[in-house]
Structure 1
Amino acid sequence: MSVTTSQPLADLQSSHDPRDIAINKVGIRRLRYPLTLLQRGAGPTVTAALVNMYVSLDGSFKGTHMSRFVEVLNEFRDALDINNLRTVLARMKEHLEAADAYLELEFPLFFARPAPVTGQVGLQAYDCAITASLDATDHLRTKSTVVVPVTTLCPCSKEISDYGAHNQRSMVTLQWRSRRPIWLEEMIELVESQASCPVFPLLKRPDEKWVTERAYENPKFVEDMVRDLTAKLREDERLTWYRVESENEESIHAHNCFALVEETPER
């Protein structure tokens, strides 16, 4: 069915707003959309992202044009790449006639993890995010996030017990800004290297024995987790800012344990 109008439809969003109050961010949230990821050693792969898009709005305009955000995404349907966000943000500024543009992507990253003894391979999923903004001077600012599940074993439990020690799954969130792109996989592996033991998607009995003994030999408080990881991050000259959070889903306590370190290193 075709719809025709004898007169142009009113563009209410472009009309004048007498309150003259500028809005920092206005746009769309939680749009699910395909995203191309260039994975280390695996080439480009496609995942599904939750997308948030915003622009700044001058105080003289009543509103923004929400449909234009999706139009911009559709222009990059075959090439929405986390390493090409400047182009997307610049197009948002142009198409929505805005001074500032913001893009937030949340997505799962999968890669193959072999078991430590048997070598059986499973797919491990990690929650990741990229946020980017392009301001009125075309300065690009990006932040990357990985959320990594690990195992931590309680040093106090090990110290005071005649045998055994309690352990738990810990969720470590690492955020960073850097002078040049860093593989998400590289930062995931860095987090896992500082835990009592990584989490694996597929374990047979010989692997479970290895994991149990590895964690027991490498106990970590939540404080140890963030401090040891921070010590490694301080050695990385590529980083201009980072934030490390670790939260233990305690197995014998009614509460979780949490620690955080945030630093802007002087280079």
Structure 2
Amino acid sequence: MKDVQNEKDERNIPLKHVGIKNLSYPIIVLDKKNKIQHTVANINMFVDLPRDFRGTHMSRFVEIINDFHFKIEPKTIKQILDKLKESLNAQSAKIEITFPYFLKKEAPVTKIKSFLEYKCGFKAYDNDNKYDFYLIIEVPIQTLCPCSKEISKYNAHNQRAKVLMEIKTYDLIWFEELIEIAESSASSPLYTLLKRPDEKFVTEESYENPKFVEDVSRDIALKLKDDKRIKWFKVEVESFESIHSHNAYACVDSSVLEV
């Protein structure tokens, strides 16, 4: 049959990224405690397209993912990009993979266990054999406003927030380690299941540990800076303010700590 994608294009315009987005796919990822975890990923995959080709071969993106038999981990990401470039005659390739990752957490007092979801993922680029790989994780937390506590006779406003980290590493670092860094930098972690003694503990813990989003981002940055496995990082903290119609936001990356 005629290969329309390989028709010569006369417009003389190269394309930076062509490929597929929002592919939902079952995968197996590494889990520090249980060794593996089954989940469902959202996958974006791209290559460059030279100026003289009309289109890319979209089916090959899914075929390449199929070849890895659901196993997605840092060492296989580079192999996926290499196969994309080889199969599609590309100079560059990019992949973005995000997935829900579940950990079993104990309530602080009753020790009742329940699962909490974290949004994790990988992002990688290979451009003319220059390879960059990033870990991505979003951690839900709680913040309590230091200003509100200081000026109020009773209580202080508190709310859920999220920490988003992008990490480049020299060596293996587990999602669980990044989760611990984020949660220990918050006013309090979040829990799926709390009984009354647990709620009392969490409420009082956050009150005794007030944090602005600025505080959380800086505390996380200092902990990441001290980890010799980490080459580069970016931290974003967003708080869903309970008494405002807007969110509070802070961002830092490792470049500001290098001066």
- Which of these residues, 175, 190, 196, is aligned with residue 184 of structure 1? 175
How far off its partner does 1:63 sit? 1.0
| Rg comparison, structure with higher value | 1
Q: Does 1:217 pair with 2:199?
A: no
Provide the residue aligned with 2:47 in structure 1.
Answer: 55
1:37–1:82 contact (8 Å) kept in structure 2: no
Q: Does 1:199 pair with 2:200?
A: no
Q: Does 1:96 pair with 2:88?
A: yes
SS in 2 for 1:84: helix
Q: Does 1:38 pair with 2:38?
A: no
SS in 2 for 1:77: coil
How far off its partner does 1:176 sit? 1.2
Aligned residue runs from structure 1 range 82-121, under 5 A:
82-121=74-113
Task: Tell me the matched-pair count.
Answer: 258
How far off its partner does 1:206 sit? 0.9
How far off its partner does 1:254 sit? 1.8
Q: Which stretch of the first structure deviates more once superposed, 108-117 or 127-136?
A: 127-136
Q: Which stretch of the first structure deviates more once superposed, 196-205 or 226-235?
A: 226-235
Q: Residue by residue, what CA displacement relative to the aligned partner does 1:183-219 show, whole Å, maximum 9, x if unpaired? A: 1111011000000000011111111111011101100
How far off its partner does 1:136 sit? 2.1
Distance 1:190 1:154 in 2: 20
Distance 1:216 1:165 in 2: 7
Letter of the structure 2 residue corresponding to residue 159 of structure 1 = E
Distance 1:82 1:116 in 2: 33
Provide the residue aligned with 2:229 in structure 1.
Answer: 238
SS in 2 for 1:122: strand
How far off its partner does 1:78 sit? 3.9
Q: Residue by residue, what CA displacement relative to the aligned partner does 1:120-170 show, whole Å, maximum 9, x if unpaired? A: 000000111211122222x32111111111111111111111221111111
TM-score by length of 2: 0.95
1:36–1:82 contact (8 Å) kept in structure 2: no
Distance 2:240 2:70 in 1: 39
Provide the residue aligned with 2:61 in structure 1.
Answer: 69
Provide the residue aligned with 1:21 in structure 2.
Answer: 13
What do you get for the CA RMSD once the two structures are aligned? 1.4
Distance 2:72 2:214 in 1: 38
- Which of these residues, 231, 248, 253, is aligned with residue 257 of structure 1? 248
- Which of these residues, 151, 155, 161, is aligned with residue 160 of structure 1? 151
Unaligned 5+ segments in structure 2 are none
2:29–2:71 contact (8 Å) kept in structure 1: no
How far off its partner does 1:266 sit? 4.4
Q: Does 1:150 pair with 2:141?
A: yes
Letter of the structure 2 residue corresponding to residue 169 of structure 1 = R
How far off its partner does 1:181 sit? 2.4
Q: Residue by residue, what CA displacement relative to the aligned partner does 1:61-103 show, whole Å, maximum 9, x if unpaired? A: 1110111111111111243334311111111111112111111
Q: Does 1:169 pair with 2:160?
A: yes
TM-score by length of 1: 0.93
Unaligned 5+ segments in structure 1 are 1-8
1:34–1:77 contact (8 Å) kept in structure 2: no
Q: Residue by residue, what CA displacement relative to the aligned partner does 1:29-70 show, whole Å, maximum 9, x if unpaired? A: 001001111100111121100011111111111110111111
1:127–1:146 contact (8 Å) kept in structure 2: yes
SS in 2 for 1:202: coil
Distance 1:12 1:79 in 2: 33
Amino-acid identity (%): 45
